[in-house]
Amino acid sequence: MKIVINDNSIEPIYYQIYQQIKEHIDNNKIIPGEQLPTERELNRSLRVSRITIRKAIKDLVLEGFCYKKRGKGIFVSGGKIPLELDNLMGMANHIESLKLELNTKVILKKVIKADAQLTEKLEVEKKSKVLYLKRLRIIKNEPLVIENAYLSLNRLQGLEKFNFEGSLYKIIRENYNLFPHHSRGTIIHKLADEENAKLLNIPLNYSLTEKQAVVYDKNNTPIEFVKNYYLSNRFIFFYNSFFHEIK
C-alpha cells in the first residue's frame, strides 16, 4: 500500500493518510478482511508521528471503513450494513436477504423471574417465568450485534428447549403460530461497558447504538422485549414514516 505525503499541501498530513487509505479501499487495492500496516510500520515508512497516524486510522474506523480487533490490529471492513429500524423480519432473515454470512453464538440461555421492568414490558405477572436469551451476531466474521431477548414462558411454553443459533422468529412462527406485527421502542447512543466491549472485541467506551423495543402480535400482545447493541460505525440505519392527515 503506497502512501505519499505532500508537505506543501494545504491538507493536514493525517487527512492525506486517511484519504489515500480510503482510496485504496474504494478501489479494492486493499480488500475487506485485509489488515492495515501497524502504526510502527506506517511511522517507519512515512516518517510522521504516531499521533498523526493514529488520528487518520481513528477517522477510518469511526466512518466504518476499518475496524479494530483488540490485540490484533486494524482491518478493512466490508462497508456499512443497511438496517431498517422498523424491520420485523428478524436479524437472521435480514442478513440472509443481503447475502451476507451470519453466525450466531448463544452467550446465555436462562429462565428468570420477571422483575418490574419485564412485568411492564411483557405484560405478565411479577415473578412469572421469562426466558432470557443473550446472543452475539457475527456478520462476515465480525462480531457486530449483541441481542438480549426476553420472552414470556407462560405464552411460549417449552421455548427454553430450543437451539437458538438460527432464527428466533422462525421458531416462534413454526411452533407457536405467532407472528410479529408491530413494535414500539427507543434508539439511543451508548458507550460500550466492559462486558459488551469484550464480546464485540472493541475498546471500552466505544460507540454503540442501543435499541430497546417491545414486539407485539396483531392482537397487541407482547411477544418479546429486546435490548440490542449495534456497533454504530458498521451500520447505516433507515426508517419509513407516513403522514397522517389531521382532520
- CATH for 13-76 is 1.10.10.10
Please enumerate in sequence order all residues whose Cβ is within 8 A of that of 247, keeping only pairs 6 or more positions apart, or say none.
Answer: none
Q: Does the structural domain 81-238 have CATH classification 3.40.1410.10?
A: yes
Q: By C-alpha distance, which of 84, 56, 111, 120 is closest to 230?
A: 84
% the chain with pLDDT above 70: 95
- Give 86-102 pLDDT, tens digit per residue: 777 677 777 877 777 88
Domain residue ranges of the chain, discontinuous segments joined by +: 13-76, 81-238
* Lowest-confidence region among 43-47, 101-105, 139-143: 139-143
pTM of the full predicted structure? 0.75
Pair 17, 56: CB distance under 8 Å: yes
